[in-house]
Amino acid sequence: MIAIGVPAEGKDEPRIGLTPETVKKLVKAGAKVTVRSGAGLRSHFSDQDYTDAGAQVAKSDADAVADADVVFTVRRPELSLAKAMKKGAALIGMLDPFSDAEGLDALAKTGVALFAMELMPRITRAQSMDVLSSQSNLAGYKAVVDASAAFERALPMMMTAAGTVPAARVFIMGVGVAGLQAIATARRLGAIVTATDVRPAVKEQVASLGAKFIAVEDEEFKQAETAGGYAKEMSDEYKKKQAALIADHVKNQDIVITTALIPGRPAPKLISKAMIESMKPGSIIVDLAAERGGNTELTKPGEIAEHKGVRIFGLLNLPGQVPVNASSLYAKNLQAFIDPFIDKEKKTLAIDWDDELAKGTVIARDGTIVNAMVAERLGGKAGGAAKADPKPARAARAPTKTGPAKSAANGKAKAPAKRNGAQRQPKGGKTT
Ligand code: NAD
């Protein structure tokens, strides 16, 4: 019988890796699930909810994971948790693969197989497992709700006997998963919404949500989307034209939500200090790119900065502020991922290491880092990189603060490993 363990998360993480609903499904599929007592409380799932769903409740994290073949977490856990696990068991979560080299290497050395859900290939088959999408969608929603709560005026137009309240103007920069949800939420609240992106594909999506699309639509714009559906880094000439357009637009906006990201690059700086100074006091910016350096010049990750009456929210982990929904969707992502690796007859774990989903997400196995990009970003500190895939599907998510610069700085960076047959790029079709 396959055993699944769920420990409690750290104090800053209200989400949990499995919900009672997903426990029920896994138990039905033949799994034995053990959840650490109290682990679901911050998502409002009680121990009783878990036992009613068929799980067992353990007194400690070590007890929850000791016999597990698979452990589900939200964040990268402490080393002690991996040490409490069986050698060869799978640890699956958002393991933040491109930061804290030593920490990740130590985790790998316990012999636990590490799977980073952030690296899930963006192919049709993996849509239900895409944690970045499920969590970004909620972040886009929460960004608008937070902005409207902090904004000291109303969002919708109201015509009253005492006079008319004008509708607020909301500008969304970057129309990926988070941006689309931000547009939809701001429209529902009655704001006048405009949006921009460098990918032409989003123009229709913006219009279909009732917002106006604005962008520098030159020849470069027409080529700005990669085959993977992500944005490219734009030329300096384009950036200048874009900055002029944005400067002109931003000064009339009440709320700006920025979500712009480029695969493997720092978040583009789209809003300068001068642009912020052109906005009316009381305006709000929510920068969802804060974790990757921010889209504005004044973003302070983890803080609310204020400049000449304009507040810039650089808050991190917005999905964690909607933990009930975020845990529910995240747990479904994990369950969808593990389901094909459960032998339904023998009711045992049967990971197909040649499957593109396993290959795309596994970062360490048998004590060794097996993803070359992770190894390279770790500055060559991890062993075994030479056999791994130099281009994981989600290179997009490599953060910048702890990336190649750090590797170069310690002078130990290895050249990317050569690709071998067993670690080829996933080939599935992209969908949007
Ligand atoms: P992301 O988080 O990588 O980036 C957010 C947005 O910022 C993107 O739309 C990007 O084009 C935009 N951006 C980058 N640089 C910019 C700039 N200088 N100015 C303005 N905007 C800029 O994006 P995402 O949310 O991961 O989505 C990327 C694409 O992948 C979307 O088309 C989405 O629909 C698609 N997608 C596909 C799947 C799947 O097939 N399984 C799943 C999720 C998303």
pLDDT in tens, 229-272: 788 889 999 999 999 999 999 999 999 999 998 876 789 999 99
pLDDT, average across residues 346-373: 93
- Output the CA 157–ligand 1 centroid distance in Å: 31
pLDDT at 92 over 70: yes
Q: What is the pTM of this model?
A: 0.86
pLDDT in tens, 42-53: 999 999 999 999
CB atoms within 10 A of CB 71: 27
pLDDT at 415 over 80: no
230 labelled catalytic:
yes
Active site residue: 43, 76, 133, 181, which one?
Answer: 133
Ligand 1: which residues within 6 Å by Cβ? 122, 127, 130, 133, 136, 173-179, 196-199, 229-231, 234, 259-262, 268, 270, 396, 430-432
Active site residue: 141, 230, 238, 330, which one?
Answer: 230
Distance CA 297, CA 273 (A): 6
Which atom of ligand 1 lies closest to the CA of 268? 18
Q: What is the pLDDT of residue 403?
A: 33
pLDDT at 186 over 70: yes
pLDDT at 193 over 80: yes
Counting ligand 1 atoms within 8 A of each CB, the residue from 123, 130, 199 with the most, and so the one to mutate, is 199
Distance CA 82, CA 62 (A): 9
Q: Which pairs count as long-range contacts for 276-280, CB under 8 Å and 24+ apart, including other chains?
A: 276/307, 276/308, 276/310, 276/312, 277/307, 277/308, 277/310, 278/247, 278/250, 278/251, 279/250, 279/251, 279/253, 279/310, 280/254, 280/309, 280/310
- Output the CA 181–ligand 1 centroid distance in Å: 12
Q: What is the pLDDT of residue 90?
A: 97
pLDDT at 380 over 80: no
